[in-house]
Amino acid sequence: MCYRIGQGYDVHPLAAGRSFYLGGILIPHSKGAVGHSDADVLIHAIGDALLGAIAIGDLGTHFPDNDPQYKGIDSKVLLQKIVELLQENHYQIVNIDSTVTLQRPKIALFILEMRKVLSQTMHINMAQLSIKATTTEHLGFEGREEGLSATAIVLVKKT
Ligand SMILES: [Zn+2]
């Protein structure tokens, strides 16, 4: 099997007074995502998609959220480990497409920086990583700004 695809989905609640980490960078906002790690919903969706592509479990099995070593951890460290797992299994990333769903803040101005940082983390070119953003027109938990979600689809190739 030469090519495989994977998909990932993640949700985190938003709370006032938390740092808002998304796509590997810190974004100024009055709220931040809540979670055991830095709660970076985009990295978690991408990580789950990569693990899913080669059917080796999910984020929770590799990095349990009750393990103190992952408390407050920079999710880029987890993503690096996942890319190492891919390499150990003789797969490389072809491309990644992702969507972050949130009402606020507007993240369009930060997407280039996220792509830069995360493509470096995964040792790929920026052209291999797409990050998009959408709102839900005030519908649902994202629209009420109670939380945010992200989805990712990846294609990987046997090396
Ligand atoms: Zn998560």
Q: What is the pLDDT of residue 134?
A: 97
Percentage of the chain exceeding pLDDT 70: 100
Distance in angstroms (rounded) separating the CA atoms of residues 44 and 93: 16
The predicted-structure confidence for 7-48, as pLDDT tens digits, reads as follows 999 999 999 999 999 999 999 999 999 998 999 999 999 999
What are 9's strand-pairing partners? 151
Let me know if 80 is exposed, middle or buried by CB neighbors in 10 A (0-12, 13-18, 19+).
middle
**What is the 36 CA–ligand 1 centroid distance (Å)?**
8
Residue 145 Ramachandran class (φ > 0 left, ψ -120 to 50 alpha, else beta):
left
**What is the 91 CA–ligand 1 centroid distance (Å)?**
24
The predicted-structure confidence for 96-108, as pLDDT tens digits, reads as follows 999 999 999 999 9
Q: Read off the pTM.
A: 0.97
| pLDDT confidence band for 148 (50 / 70 / 90) | very high
Q: What is the pLDDT of residue 25?
A: 98
Once rounded to an integer, what is the mean pLDDT over residues 141-155? 98
Paired tokens of 119: 């493509």
**What is the amino acid identity at position 150?**
A
Distance in angstroms (rounded) separating the CA atoms of residues 41 and 45: 6
Q: What is the pLDDT of residue 65?
A: 85
**What is the 37 CA–ligand 1 centroid distance (Å)?**
8
